[in-house]
Structure 1
């Protein structure tokens, strides 16, 4: 599921094509008709590429239910959020509990929300990074699967820091998906424990 450029979608599809990420992307959904992610998915031969318009639904729950129905009909196991900018309803999260993955441009639990990179820079931290996590009902609050750290430089702007974080995302996201498929994990409390293979 993506709302924008789909740069993480692009690297996941490329990693899968290269044999480095054993995933089969069966469906890409966007809430935005003009999202470049839709064209990326078409160009890469994803079987189903859908724009589902939130304005066609009475509320968030019914929109999310339509997305969920499309996901189930496509036979998808994991739901990978790649720059998806809508907050998921509790009903959707519960329907796919433990199966929704997101990447956030900060080292959670610090700096959740829409501008992780900008918030980290404004706070004055010396390192930032990205977090791949399971999605639960708390915004950016689910159990952490993996993190990558990047330095915050003295002359950074929000854009330069975000670009460095995004570069780390492009390595971390497909690698984490690979581990999920090949190794698996279990959860103890809030801790994700990777299975030893």
Structure 2
């Protein structure tokens, strides 16, 4: 399966996907890595692995819609079957979703639908929940609202702070992402409303 990965930061999830895709049995070829800013470690990781890269900066475009269209065009060059947002810190818009809606995955460091947005671990800790975790979902027009592909629970320890909790979430989030992307490549995935299941008649498409 041809995959484009989008990053904004250090690219630790990207690196996990790069490492996994080195095994032909995993079923994934990362055909490009894109970023919304220059100089990210994620781009450095991709270049070190010999993967084509591109950068589409918001500030280089007059409107967010123009940026979204430019990002979509940059991705389209690589003809991906799946897009993975791996720490990509921009919301995608209508041009992107028109082209790749239903074929784009993102992770969130909480158990959706609880604690959406940029501060999931902090919000979970502040609320006093005893269990939080990570969610992999199909991107839609909302904020962390897409159909859920996979979830992993993480207990909240009595001595946790935001940093310690988030670090434990990142570990299971990374493993969940790698496992799920590989299963999608090998088995396919079917999305029916909000219900998602692995397995499809065409293992190289999201139905």
TM-score by length of 1: 0.95
Structure 1 gaps of 5+ residues are none
Please list, as runs of the form range in 1=range in 2, the aligned pairs for 1:97-116 lying within 5 A after superposition: 97-116=101-120
| 2:18 is aligned with 1:13 | yes
Please list, as runs of the form range in 1=range in 2, the aligned pairs for 1:115-154 lying within 5 A after superposition: 115-154=119-158
Distance 1:28 1:196, change over 3 A: closer
Task: Name the SS of the counterpart of 2:7 in structure 1.
Answer: coil
Tell me the equivalent position of 1:49. 53
Tell me the equivalent position of 1:26. 31
Moved more, 150-159 or 48-57: 48-57
Deviation at 1:188, TM superposition (A): 2.7
Structure 2 gaps of 5+ residues are 1-5, 202-207
Aligned residues: 196
Q: 1:40 aligns with which of 39, 45, 48?
A: 45
The CA RMSD over aligned residues, in Å, is: 1.4
| 2:18 is aligned with 1:4 | no
Q: Distance in 2 between matches of 1:20 and 1:103?
A: 24
Moved more, 186-195 or 139-148: 186-195
TM-score by length of 2: 0.90
